[in-house]
Amino acid sequence: MTRTHAEHAELALLIEVAGTPKPGNVDRHRDHENLRFEHFLAGAVGASEGLRAAASGAPVGEAFETAVAGMANQRGGNTQFGCLLLLVPLVRAAAADELTREGVREVCAATTVADAAGFYRAFDHVDVAVAEPPEEMEPLDVRRGSDAVPALEERGMTLADVLARSEGDGNAAEWRAGFPRTFREAERLLDDDGPVTDRAARAFLRLLAETEDGFVRTTAGEAAAREATERARACLAGREDPEDLAAEFVDRGINPGTTADITCAALYVALERGLSV
């Protein structure tokens, strides 16, 4: 028996949250006050139906909305919205036997206005911290959820169009560029050794050291985003203990969520490419 694409994706969600230390994020050893490990377990289980839909070829927007609605069925709030935004097109690409940068780029390019509507409807299920949109995009503020769908249809914007305009969002940047960080980190995960949860924690640190986290920028400001990346570099260079940093960032509410999303996406690609558990 081999794992299905949807099972690989669900397992990636679980391994991502189990990896420790992941400074600032919920992990196997740390909870936030109202967002705990078990909320991520329930989020992963709840997302599975949408992930199976994606693997069966359901439209990206519809599969994403189903996955988010299932994920949101727990009391922690937004656990894995960003992860799912990356996983759904990757699972679609894998199901088409084309899990490559080019393959996922095609899936993203083929999205429609209906997919964009599914994406907006997903915001009805859960509160997601996002940056203020530029003024001309206000009618399309994602926080409007399904209320923004008429404006979306009027402008004829596809999901790829919407994400092309989401500047500063690290997940949207992956969509726009054919998932470069995801695929690069997947190879590093495969080249690494030891238990997969330890590999996940190291991937998280590498990704954070490499690029400032968009979620930290939105929720804690520019300076915090810069600091998080500098201190991840210090951890990688052995100048700082990531366990101490993890405790400090949880206390200070510095939560590199986008980095966790990309870690999860990279784990998924690595699992599909033979990372063994």
Helix ranges (H only) for 97-241 are 101-109, 113-122, 149-155, 159-164, 170-177, 180-191, 196-210, 214-220, 222-236
Window contacting its own copies (CB under 8 A); options: 67-75, 105-113, 143-151, 250-258: 67-75
Residues 179-238 that bind its own copies (CB under 8 A): 195-197
Window contacting its own copies (CB under 8 A); options: 34-42, 111-119, 201-209, 216-224: 34-42
Q: How far apart are CA 42 and CA 180, in angstroms?
A: 29
Nearest distance from residue 32's CB to its own copies, in Å?
12
Amino acid at 269: V
Q: Least CB distance from residue 168 to its own copies, whole Å?
A: 31
What is the distance between the terminal CA atoms of the chain, rounded to a whole angstrom? Answer: 14
Least CB distance from residue 184 to its own copies, whole Å?
23
Q: Which is nearer to its own copies, 251 or 276 (CB)?
A: 276
Q: Which stretch binds its own copies (CB under 8 A): 38-46, 149-157, 214-222, 244-252?
A: 38-46
Q: Are 174 and 182 in contact (CB under 8 A)?
A: yes
- Residues facing 27 on adjacent strands: 30
Position among 97, 135, 191, 276 found at the interface with its own copies (CB under 8 A): 276
Residue 32 contacts its own copies per CB under 8 A: no
- Cα–Cα distance measured from residue 201 to residue 221, given in angstroms and rounded to the nearest whole number: 24
Distance CA 201, CA 177 (A): 24
219, 132 in Cβ contact below 8 A?
no
Q: Which of residues 70-89 bind its own copies (CB under 8 A)?
A: 70, 72-75
**46 near its own copies (CB under 8 A):** yes
Number of residues that bind its own copies (CB under 8 A): 34
SS3 content of the chain, % helix, strand, coil (to 5): 70, 0, 30
Of 21, 24, 25, 48, which one interacts with its own copies (CB under 8 A)? 48
Tokens of 129: 């911290």
Q: Which residues of the chain form contacts with its own copies (CB under 8 A)? A: 1-4, 7, 10-11, 14-15, 18, 28-29, 36-39, 41-42, 44-46, 48-49, 69-70, 72-75, 195-197, 276-277
